[in-house]
Amino acid sequence: MEIILIVKLILEYTLFLYLGISALYILVFSIAGCFAPRKKVAQNDKLKYRKFAVLIPGYKEDNVIIDVANHALSQNYPKNLFDIIVIADSFQPKTIRKLSQMPIILVEVSFEKSTKSKALNKAMEILGDKYDVALVLDADNIMESDFISKINTSFDNGFEVVQGHRVAKNTNTALAILDAISEELNNHIFRKGHRALGFSSALIGSGMAFNYDMFKKRMFDIKAVGGFDKELELTLLRDGKKIEFLDNALVYDEKVQKVEVFENQRKRWLSAQFVYFGRFFFSGLYYLILKGNFDFFDKVYQMISPPRVLLIGITGIIAFLTMMIEFTIPQNSIFAIPFLYWLIVFLTIVISFILSIPAHFYNMKTLHALQTLPKVFLSMFTSLFKLKGANKKFIHTQHGTLEKK
């Protein structure tokens, strides 16, 4: 019986430390994000104009790719200094014909098992080395008109890797609103807040730009099915590269609208996180202890930290259960850690969220959308038990099917 009690205590304190550290972590960076410094702006007479390869890989993205390519062509940047490269995997013949008539570079690819990393590598193999910057978009992304100009200015300030600010293209359903809020939470905590404290921004898979030669060489070694940006990010930070975040450089991204799509997407992301944590944990410790690389170790920690929906959901449930038990059977509580401690952890997360969510989301639409949150939490929680093999198969998220609310 004593052994069971000891095991229970170990598990309970481990869970408390894990969730408590995660809550404190996001609070620190949430506060920091509120005091992010303004970016330096290069003087126009000294500005170097680089040649951009705007890489847009897409798999069966016939619904959106024509519109995305048209918008990309309208950038407020010298026309001879950027090429729009659409990497078409399994597109319809009529879509290919339309793309062929546009002033873009069309790269048709076909793989037995399609992945974003394969598509990017094949395109760069064909394109050669005539570019200075590789700018990666998703097939549904729309850049604001001066996005490339802002990225170019950031490169003039000495950065080789820059992440733009990805925002929601649509908030037409409750789930899309929650997904948009989730993205802004991550932007504030893992990008804006991290840069404010001198850490690197997190990459997000699109709206990101790299020194072209460096990106081409590093991508050659990346064979990831899912989460290629995480592997790329970890290796960049391991090698001492700093990742900038441009809060004012916007790229619009379509948010998910169906729970099953949301579950598949998050399952792939969670699986990738666990895979890369296992792969980089010991090297993260090595680089922290022997080389003082806090940036790299911080990113390794992020791979094992819980997603924000799970964090607030689990701590909220535990806080509620401990409260009920303490009030009903105070002398025989099955929990060693008092309700007050769990409440503090829960409130820490709530405060972090309040600081991180942009003001324009504080409205009645968001209030109605929050009614969907328990369903989203349950979907993510059950995904934890379905992660096996999720990082080894390609999961396509269909875009361009916006539903009316």
The confidence score (pLDDT) of residue 397 equals 64
CATH number of the domain encompassing residue 153: 3.90.550.10
Q: Are residues 250 and 300 in the same domain?
A: no
Q: Where are the alpha helices (DSSP H) in 197-329?
A: 212-220, 228-238, 259-291, 294-304, 308-328
Q: Are residues 220 and 359 in the same domain?
A: no
Q: Which domain holds residue 168?
A: 52-257
The confidence score (pLDDT) of residue 367 equals 95
Residue 399 buriedness (CB in 10 A; 0-12 / 13-18 / 19+)? buried
What's the domain count of the chain? 2
User: 238 φ, ψ to 5°?
Assistant: -60, -35
Q: Are residues 82 and 11 in the same domain?
A: no
Within-domain flag for 343: yes
Q: Which residues of the chain have pLDDT under 70?
A: 1, 38-45, 226, 330-333, 387-405
CA dist., res. 233 & res. 237, Å (int):
6
The confidence score (pLDDT) of residue 52 equals 98
Within-domain flag for 146: yes
Q: Give strand pairing partners of 252.
A: 142, 167
The confidence score (pLDDT) of residue 159 equals 94
The confidence score (pLDDT) of residue 403 equals 44
Over residues 57-80, the pLDDT tens digits come to 999 999 999 999 999 999 999 999
Over residues 33-63, the pLDDT tens digits come to 999 776 655 555 678 999 999 999 999 999 9
Show which of 197, 227, 257 is a domain's final residue: 257
Q: Are residues 181 and 284 in the same domain?
A: no
Over residues 316-359, the pLDDT tens digits come to 999 999 998 888 876 666 778 889 999 999 999 999 999 999 99
Within-domain flag for 87: yes
The confidence score (pLDDT) of residue 42 equals 52
Within-domain flag for 154: yes
Show which of 227, 257, 287 is a domain's final residue: 257
Q: Are residues 204 and 118 in the same domain?
A: yes
- What one-character-per-residue DSSP string does 51-103 give? PEEEEEEEES-TTTHHHHHHHHHT-SS-GGGEEEEEEEES--HHHHHHHHTSS
